[in-house]
Chains A and B, each alone.
Chain A
């Protein structure tokens, strides 16, 4: 310990990147927020005093789920391509990620429109409505934030501003996107499997 400490110079001194540490901190804080909403959801399963029940109105969003989970894979490819400087492939993968995320949000929009206008089921209807719209809505709002970020990078890419040296920044952003996907696995399990 002492020998290496005394000989240490600035060039060999390596610390984790502040971007990654900061993003992981954000993810930890967000996880705590989601934990509380999931806890409320689970606690209120079956406690609504009136209908409708989840089984009566919820349809499992299979297409959206497949799209969102696949977008993690395309994101992973995009970052790998960017690191190698293969800009054309990066652009395609990044666009696919954006597209898949948008399809997911489109699916949620249609699902909510059906629930609200066809089934008359809102956040005020019962405890199920309260917890359903808040948990799924909280996740959807995170997807929307992610889509905004994806769009900004997409525009910068098309303008030719994104280069190989930005792979670290894009990677930090990709951590957020993977997190949003991982949260969907929890939300999906809670809402559409356990809660239904």
Chain B
């Protein structure tokens, strides 16, 4: 037990992050199911309005902070040191600290269920939405401690994330094995470097704003208090200065998975490595200047609107470059349609659509019509489920053999993929339509006869498919962990360093510190007659 609780080993911490996030994935999934049951038909009474508010708040907060971030930090923790030939992260103890802060943050958030009246009505779980707009969070409108649970749990988790981000940057800049120049790093390391840097400058503004909110709630300060001349719009700015780059904190590690998986399953080196690095870095920088596209409906001067429309459109350019590079990698390759590749292709298609609806919403006049509607919900779930979750599943099927020494079952994997794909499209394709027809998000029910019912019913049916798919995945993991086919060191015939060691790797990762001569060190070893290093 202590071996795990007291560990500073990056692989153990990575696995703890992943398991922790999977538990919360189930929790947030249950919350989604409850909300979708309530929304199947008009004037439903399955959930009370109060409980519905608590559920969507926790669903969003959990999804971003206690599912997506930890799972990506987990994979990053596990893979980055292995892929750059390091013994561990730069700061093993800080790494453990970061994990436990995040872990206790999540537990604190859910402790709110057991505070106050009862568990069935969700205790005093926060009910202010995941972005907790002022003045809803002021003591006048949110008496008691429900908002404090939101605030304090995210403060804790935020400190953990910032320390994790610093650890990624320090590891990648200071711990690479001999020969691993920046230009030879696997793209996964590059993208986690950008992600780590983004974490430093995006989570901190949220921490600052939450300190201000604490001041307002506990010390009688007036940051977001309109009675004293304060501005509630300032909270929106501060939150989205965090909130939008946060989306890139989540998607960039997913780009990293895809950039490792697509070449291996297309049997080609990644197309346009320098362009991928440049595109990732520029996404990182530009994403810092787009936040107010979440605020078009609040009202801004026209030059403000124009600025944020333009910057948002500009982000699409490097993102498009990436899509083309992945396509060009696949083009002419000997494609192996194994489960990781299927999920990667699902990602490509769905992320593209999600990006396109994002460009639609980035147009201010369009957003004035559809801001805060189900169209927005459909858009960001397309990115988060269709993009992030699909690429996380791709990563599971790809690296599970390295982490456990056993392959995931391929047949179950294909069932998982296709059922999830069907469920995903049933739910989130449908939800665009009631959005276009004017259905606002975060309503606990709606009137009949607006043309929203059948679409909502289809969306809820899709959730059944998604639930079944996730159950297949859980079963597959347990079954394969116990009696899956042994994987061997390098089951995919891949080229990066993590496949050079045993599966699972020993505590010290590599018996001798590897020396690297090209971007694909294992290719060099397997093909001594024609190594990559000849062409660099």
Q: Which residues of A contact B (CB under 8 A)?
A: 1-2, 5-6, 8-10, 13, 15-18, 21-22, 25-26, 28-30, 32-37, 40, 43-44, 47-49, 123-124, 126-127, 129-131, 133-134, 138
**Chain B residue contacts of A16, Cβ below 8 A:** 173-174
Q: Which of B53-72 contact A (CB under 8 A)?
A: none
Q: A25-B169, A123-B220, A130-B215 are in contact. Are A36 and B209 (CB under 8 A)?
A: yes
**Chain B residue contacts of A34, Cβ below 8 A:** 208
Q: Which of B133-176 contact A (CB under 8 A)?
A: 162, 165-167, 169-171, 173-176
Q: How far is the CB of B95 from chain A (nearest CB, A)?
A: 12
What are 6 inter-chain pairs, A to B, with CB distance below 8 A?
A: A5-B179, A15-B173, A21-B170, A29-B204, A32-B201, A127-B228
Q: A8-B515, A22-B91 are in contact. Are A40 and B234 (CB under 8 A)?
A: yes
Contact check, B201 vs A15: say whether CB atoms are below 8 A apart: no
Q: Is B181 an interface residue (CB 8 A)?
A: yes
Contact check, A43 vs B221: say whether CB atoms are below 8 A apart: no
**Chain B residue contacts of A10, Cβ below 8 A:** 178, 513, 515
Contact check, A29 vs B176: say whether CB atoms are below 8 A apart: no
Query: Which residue of B169, B175, B215, B228 is within 8 Å of A134 (Cβ)?
Result: B215
A22 to chain B: closest residue by CB: B170
Q: A10-B513, A16-B174 are in contact. Are A29 and B229 (CB under 8 A)?
A: no
In the assembled complex, the Cα of A171 lies from the Cα of B484 at a distance in Å of 52
Query: Which residue of B174, B219, B230 is within 8 Å of A44 (Cβ)?
Result: B230
Q: Count CB-based A-B contacts (< 8 Å).
A: 130
Q: A22-B166, A36-B205 are in contact. Are A15 and B230 (CB under 8 A)?
A: no
**Chain B residue contacts of A29, Cβ below 8 A:** 162, 165-166, 200-201, 203-204
Q: A25-B165, A26-B166 are in contact. Are A127 and B174 (CB under 8 A)?
A: no
Contact check, B215 vs A5: say whether CB atoms are below 8 A apart: no
Q: Is B442 an interface residue (CB 8 A)?
A: no
In the assembled complex, the Cα of A134 lies from the Cα of B229 at a distance in Å of 17
Contact check, A48 vs B165: say whether CB atoms are below 8 A apart: no
Contact check, A2 vs B176: say whether CB atoms are below 8 A apart: no
Using a Cβ–Cβ cut-off of 8 Å, how many residues does chain B contribute to the interface with A?
51
Contact check, A18 vs B175: say whether CB atoms are below 8 A apart: yes
Q: A9-B178, A28-B200, A29-B201 are in contact. Are A21 and B229 (CB under 8 A)?
A: no
**Chain B residue contacts of A28, Cβ below 8 A:** 197, 200-201
Q: Which residues of B contact A (CB under 8 A)?
A: 90-91, 94, 162, 165-167, 169-171, 173-176, 178-179, 181, 184, 196-197, 200-205, 207-209, 211-212, 215, 219-223, 228-231, 234, 238, 241, 513, 515, 517-518, 533-534, 536
In the assembled complex, the Cα of A172 lies from the Cα of B173 at a distance in Å of 16
Q: A15-B176, A21-B169 are in contact. Are A126 and B228 (CB under 8 A)?
A: yes
**Chain A residue contacts of B209, Cβ below 8 A:** 36
**Chain B residue contacts of A18, Cβ below 8 A:** 90-91, 170-171, 173-175
Contact check, B536 vs A37: say whether CB atoms are below 8 A apart: no
In the assembled complex, the Cα of A78 lies from the Cα of B228 at a distance in Å of 47
Q: A43-B231, A48-B229 are in contact. Are A25 and B200 (CB under 8 A)?
A: yes
In the assembled complex, the Cα of A21 lies from the Cα of B94 at a distance in Å of 14
Q: How far is the CB of A168 from chain B (nearest CB, A)?
A: 13
Contact check, B175 vs A25: say whether CB atoms are below 8 A apart: no
B531 to chain A: closest residue by CB: A6
Query: Which residue of B166, B202, B229, B241 is within 8 Å of A47 (Cβ)?
Result: B229
A11 to chain B: closest residue by CB: B178
Query: Which residue of A2, A126, A133, A138 is within 8 Å of B533 (Cβ)?
Result: A2
In the assembled complex, the Cα of A26 lies from the Cα of B517 at a distance in Å of 33
**Chain B residue contacts of A129, Cβ below 8 A:** 221
B535 to chain A: closest residue by CB: A2
B233 to chain A: closest residue by CB: A43
**Chain A residue contacts of B229, Cβ below 8 A:** 44, 47-49, 126-127
Q: A2-B536, A8-B178, A22-B91 are in contact. Are A32 and B219 (CB under 8 A)?
A: no
Query: Which residue of A30, A130, A138 is within 8 Å of B222 (Cβ)?
Result: A130
